Amino acid sequence: MAIFQKPQTDGRAVNKVVEIPISEIVPNPAQPRVIFDDYELSRLAVSIQQNGILQPLTVRRPENGMYYELISGERRLRACKLLNMSMVPCIVITASVKDSAVLAVLENLQRADLSFMEEAYAIKNLIDYYGFTQEETAARLGTAQSTIANKLRLLKLTDDEKALVVKYKLGERQARALLRLESDKRPDAIHYIGSNQLNTAQTDAYIDELLKEKPPKPAVHRRWSFRAVNLYINTFNKTIDAMKEAGINCDASRSRTDDFIEYVVKIPLKQTD
């Protein structure tokens, strides 16, 4: 097992591996990882117990702080706490608040250690909490701005929808495709996609079909005025007159009650002399 250097008297052994009390390490406010699997943490704890910590944690010490802020190694720190360890090996680096936030996100992204939803929240945190623009975030993380924009779009899903996406283990492209649907259609769509284990292409095709289904147009209830009825009656009378001028000796009679107007038209089937 590696031999770690004890901290110097000023507590600032920068860029060297030192042992630091766990009680003096606080979480990084920009920590992007929010999901910690208890079983995986237990396995990591067993590995650390048997083999030690193979990769030191990375921390920084604020200028006016009496503590160390964790930059990377959240899972290792949690596993050490499970083992009731009092000291952990760390590399102390000099970093600003913003640099610390970026490094915390980068460390997880490079390890492919985050879910895509956690990545989206991490990026939003950099933008909202630390005042980065999308362009700055993309430059800091070494990715395209369109990638940042696509990640942030995922947060338009409701909390319930996000939970269902996680439950059914949908992919990022599948989750983003759901945004094409109206919000009232998304839960059922997620259930269908997850239950039938659709892949990305099948998900796109399924959502295309849903978008083709147009709801029936609501029935238009017209309110007739008596003036409008008279227009139809006049048209009907002109039709009777036109039939008579054409030599069709039809007979039309009309009666009226308080509820309706009734027309009876008799058209002879045989021509009379």
Contacts of residue 214, Cβ cutoff 8 Å, sequence gap at least 6: none
Kind plus residue range of the DSSP H or E element containing 229: helix 226-245
Q: Structure tokens of 102? A: 């970026």
128 close to 111: Cβ distance less than 8 angstroms: no
- For 71-108, give one letter per residue: b (16+ CB within 10 A) or e: bbbbbbbebbeeeebebbbbbbbebeebebbbbbbbbb
19, 24, 63, 74: the catalytic one is: 74
CB 167 within 8 Å of CB 194: yes
Residue count (the chain): 273
Is position 74 annotated as part of the catalytic site? yes
Coil, helix or strand at residue 101: helix
Q: What are phi and psi of 84, to 5 degrees?
A: 60, 35
Cα→Cα distances 154→13, 117, 164, 181, Å = 41, 7, 13, 13
- Residues assigned a catalytic role: 74
